[in-house]
Structure 1
C-alpha cells in the first residue's frame, strides 16, 4: 500500500525538502552551485509560507525551490512539453505551470461519486492517459493532494481526502508509474481555495491536485547542460 503522508505539520515537510535541496546543492563542485543550493532550500521554506495562503504548502515549496538560471530554463522547457501533453490529452484536468513544476487539478466530482474514494470507470481512462505521459517524463516526481469541503466532520473529511489521494496514486501505479515517484497526501478541509459558504466554492474545494516536480536526476542533467528525453 502506498504510504500516506499526513502533513498536519507542514513545516516538517518543508524542512526535509530544504535539507535535501541543501545536500544536493553542496555536492556540486563550484561555489556558485553550493550557493544556489542553499538559496533554493531557503526559498523552499519561504515558498511554503506563500503556498499556505493559496491552498498548498507543497505547491509553495516547489515555487521557492526553483533551480533558476540556465538549468532552470532547461527544466522549464521539459515541464512545458509535459504540461502541454497533459493539457491536450487529459480531459477534465486544469493544468497550470508553477515555477519549474506543474499543477494538475481534478474536480473530485469528476473522479469520484459523492463520499466515495473509488475512481469512477469513466475517469480511469483519464488517469491512464496521465500515467502514460508521466511515464514518458520519468525524471519527475509527484505529490498527490486530496482536498475536501467543510461539510461533514473534520475527521471524516481528513480520511476521505487521504483515501482519494491514495486511490489516484494506486491507479497511476497500476498503469506503470513507479511508486517511488508518488507521494499521496490528505489535507481534508484544511486547504480551501474558495469559500465553503456556497456550493460553487465547496465544489472548488473538493479536488485532487497532482504536483509534478523535477527529481534530483533531472536537476543534475540540467546542471550539466543536457537533458535526456
Structure 2
C-alpha cells in the first residue's frame, strides 16, 4: 500500500538516528553481537512515535503523540486486558506474546508465516492473523509496528529486502481486514537484530520472524 510505504520512510529516518551499537553486547562464548531487549523494544516504540509525529495535523495524533512521552495511569490496565485477550487468541498458534511495560510484542516465526524465501503469507496463517485482528479491533487506542527479521544466511541486501517485504505483507493484510492504515507501520530489519545464535539451525530459524509491536497511546 502506498500509504504504508510513505510511513516507512519516516520510520527509517528515526531508526537511522538510533545508535544500536551502544546497546549491543558480545557473547563471550560465540563472539556474536546481540542487541539487548530494552533496545529492541525501544526501536519499535520509537518507530511508532515517528508515525504519530508525522500526523501532527490530526487532533487524535497530537493526543497520541503525548502518549509517547507520558503514558496515563489507566493505560497499564488497558494493556493488561489486551494482553490477556491476545494470549487467548494466540494459544496453540506458535505465535509468542511478550509484554514489556506498556508494549505488547507478538513474535511470528517465519516457518509458519511464510514459505522459504517468499513473502506471501501462508494461507493457513490467515486464521491466526484473524485472531490478532479481533483483538486489535477491540483495542483501538494503540499504534502498531510490524518488523521483519532474517537470519544471517545470504547477503545483507537480500535479507533486508525479504524482511521488509514480509513485514509489509503482514501490515497490508491487517489493513485489508479493517485495521486503520494510520495505526500501522512496517519496516525490515534484515539480520541486524537476532534473538538467537545464527550459528545453529534452531537459532537461524528463530531469527527468521515477523514481530508486531503494539504500543499504547494516551487519549
| TM-score normalised per structure 1 | 0.71
The secondary structure found in structure 1 opposite 2:212 is strand
For 1:105 and 1:97, how far apart are their aligned partners in 2? 11
Aligned to 2:98: 96
Q: 1:192 to 1:8 in 2, by over 3 A?
A: farther
**1:162 is matched with which residue?**
164
When Rg is computed on C-alpha atoms for both structures, the one with the higher figure is 1
Aligned runs of 1:3-152 on 2, under 5 Å? Answer: 3=5, 4-5=8-9, 7=12, 10-12=15-17, 49=23, 53-54=35-36, 57=39, 59-60=41-42, 62=45, 67=70, 71-72=72-73, 74-90=74-90, 91-152=93-154
**Shift of residue 57, structure 1, vs aligned partner:** 4.5
Q: Secondary structure at the match of 1:210?
A: strand
Which structure dedicates a bigger proportion of its chain to helix?
1
Kindly state the Cα deviation for residue 49 of structure 1 after the two structures are TM-superposed.
4.5
Point out the more displaced range, 166-175 or 81-90.
81-90
Aligned residues: 181
1:10 and 1:144 map into 2 onto residues whose CA distance is 14
Q: 5+ residue gaps in structure 2?
A: 25-33, 47-67
Shift of 1:126: 0.8
The superposition leaves residues 157-209 of structure 1 with CA deviations (integer Å, 9 ceiling, x where unpaired) of 00000000000001101110001101101000111111111011101111111
Q: Over residues 12-71 of structure 1, what are the superposed CA-to-partner deviations in whole Å (9 max), with x where a residue is unaligned?
A: 3x6xxxxxxxxxxxxxxxxxxxxxxxxxxxxxx99x948x822685612549x6746xx2
State the partner residue of 1:28: none
SS of corresponding position for 1:142: strand
- Distance in 1 (CA, whole Å) between partners of 2:69 and 2:211 is 19
In the TM superposition, residue 99 of structure 1 has moved relative to its aligned partner by 1.1
Unaligned runs of 5+ in 1: 15-44, 221-229
CA distance in 1, matches of 2:83, 2:204: 26
- The CA RMSD measured in Å over matched residues stands at 2.7
Normalised by the length of structure 2, the TM-score is 0.74
